[in-house]
A = this chain, B = another copy of it.
Amino acid sequence: MYIGVDLGGTSVKIGVISKKGELIDHKEIPTRSRGFFQVVINDILHHSNEIIQLNGYSWDDIEGMGIGIPGLLDMERGVVKMAPNLNWQNVPIKWFIEEQLKVPVKIENDGNVAVLGEAWTGAGSQYKHIAMATIGTGIGAGIIIDGHILHGKQGMAAELGHLPISEEGLLCGCGNYGCLETISSATGIIQKGKEVVTLGKDSLLTAQYKDEIDKITAKSIIDAAKEGDNESLQIINHAGKLLGKGLAIIANLFDPQIIIIGGGVSQAGDIILDPIKEGFKEHGLKDIVASVEIVLAHLGNQAGMIGAASLFKK
């Protein structure tokens, strides 16, 4: 048995996972990241203890605890070097937890645990060359090459969200212009929706949000698009096509067997998947396009926990 932890900026998901990768039970708690990091670590200790006991196990049954973390990590030493969403810097999380639990701890980047989860029991379980894009507030990615996760020299690989491919050239949070993330992330989609309302364009969005523009979510724009709202359709189309172009770049460079799309925005389904495939086909090499499947993720928001647990899989 393993414990898989998906430590996000908003919530912490803690799961008990079998040796076959089945999620036996899990719980989700809010991330108390405003305080000292020790508060979050104590929450992980407390709630993992609770869920183990609730299911009739003891710590002796647990072979290890894997943790997915949104940040720059020193995986070998188990240190979170920098995690802006958590307000953490240089936190030796492995040391703190192993001190208390006497159970081995491994940490891994959040984009990587997602693809590891899908590779173990999800959409990628039949493949060894897998790319996964996670479309949420930002755009993350994880890449598996011949069964091994790609880290790069300092764990910064697979920065799909920061490919400079939008001709609009909007300023990105990273300081560069034209990053994929400025258009195809939930944040990029919301930004475009707000423009529609601000400009008073003829749209369901304007009708619904003109007095409460800050309530627009990516989901509200996707829903309007599904209802046939033209402005919303254009936003989703544009986001999807540019993401498809980004995935064509991934495919031309990595030659994967399958590309998996996860994250909140992927739940829009075909309305985003169709333009993604269109952009992919337009920009991918023909032999690559013909040999890659693009599919939606299977595990939803369980992928992180399962992938984190997989760090201990033999």
Interface of A toward B, CB cutoff 8 Å: 72, 128-129, 143, 145-146, 150-160, 162-165, 167, 174-176, 178, 245, 248-250, 252-257, 282-288, 291
Cross-interface CB contact of A255 among B154, B250, B254, cutoff 8 Å? B154
Q: Are B155 and A255 in contact (CB under 8 A)?
A: yes
Pair A245/B150 contact, Cβ less than 8 Å: no
The oligomer's copy count stands at: 2
Partner of A254, one of B150, B249, B256, B287: B150
Residues in B neighbouring A250, C-beta threshold 8 A? 253
Q: Which residues of B contact A159 (CB under 8 A)?
A: 252-253, 255, 285, 288
What are 5 A-to-B residue pairs whose CB atoms are below 8 Å? Answer: A153-B256, A156-B287, A157-B253, A163-B253, A174-B285
Cross-chain contact A254 with B152 (CB below 8 angstroms): yes
Given known A-B contacts A152-B129, A245-B164, A174 and B255 have beta carbons under 8 A apart: no
B291 touches A153 (CB 8 A): yes
Q: Closest Cβ of chain B: how far from A70's Cβ, in Å?
A: 15
3 smallest beta-carbon distances between A and B, as pairs: A152-B255, A164-B283, A157-B255
A162 and B285 form a contact (CB under 8 A): yes
Residues of B contacting A257 in the complex (Cβ-Cβ under 8 angstroms) = 153
Cα–Cα, bound, A259→B208 (Å): 51
Of the candidates B154, B282, B284, B291, which one forms a contact with A291 in the assembled complex, judged by CB atoms under 8 Å apart?
B154
Which of A153, A178, A282, A291 has the most CB atoms of chain B within a 10 A radius of its CB? A153
- A160 CB contacts on chain B under 8 angstroms: 253
Q: Which of chain B's residues have a CB closer than 8 A to the CB of A285?
A: 156, 159, 162, 174, 176
